[in-house]
Amino acid sequence: MLVADDDPAICMLIETVLRRGPYEIRACTDGESAVQTFDREGPFDMLICDFMLPGISGLDVIERVRSREDGTLPILMISGHTTHAVERARHAGADLFLDKPFTLSQLRGAVAALLAPRSTAS
């Protein structure tokens, strides 16, 4: 699972919560590193991406990732900037949007919801 958020505390929180499950997490704190990590270390089971990232935006990260994969990668966008962000995230290719601050339960639920179709199809 690839996580891109400019706040190291959020990255650590996501890693801590999701490592309790069967997920291997790779975290990046800027958009360009996220795209490079995707290209270098993929495939990933999922992308969790913040809307606002240094360098290239989360929207750009999602668009670049979508152009490099077959459209099946589950993508969760997270952000505290919800004005127009949800529609823009969906247009860029995000499957689900989670408002910051979110609860650990909401994070786990969003991840489970996005990964459920993949695990039942296997």
Helix count (H) and strand count (E) of the chain? 5, 5
Tens of pLDDT, residue by residue, the chain (122 residues): 999 999 999 999 999 988 877 788 999 999 999 999 999 999 999 999 999 999 999 999 999 999 999 989 999 999 987 777 888 999 999 999 999 999 999 999 999 999 986 554 44
Q: Which domains does the chain have, with CATH numbers?
A: 2-103 (3.40.50.2300)
SS3 89: helix
Task: Tell me the pTM.
Answer: 0.91
Which distant-in-sequence residues (6+ apart) come within 8 Å of 7 by Cβ?
29, 50
The Cα 38–Cα 77 span in angstroms is: 16
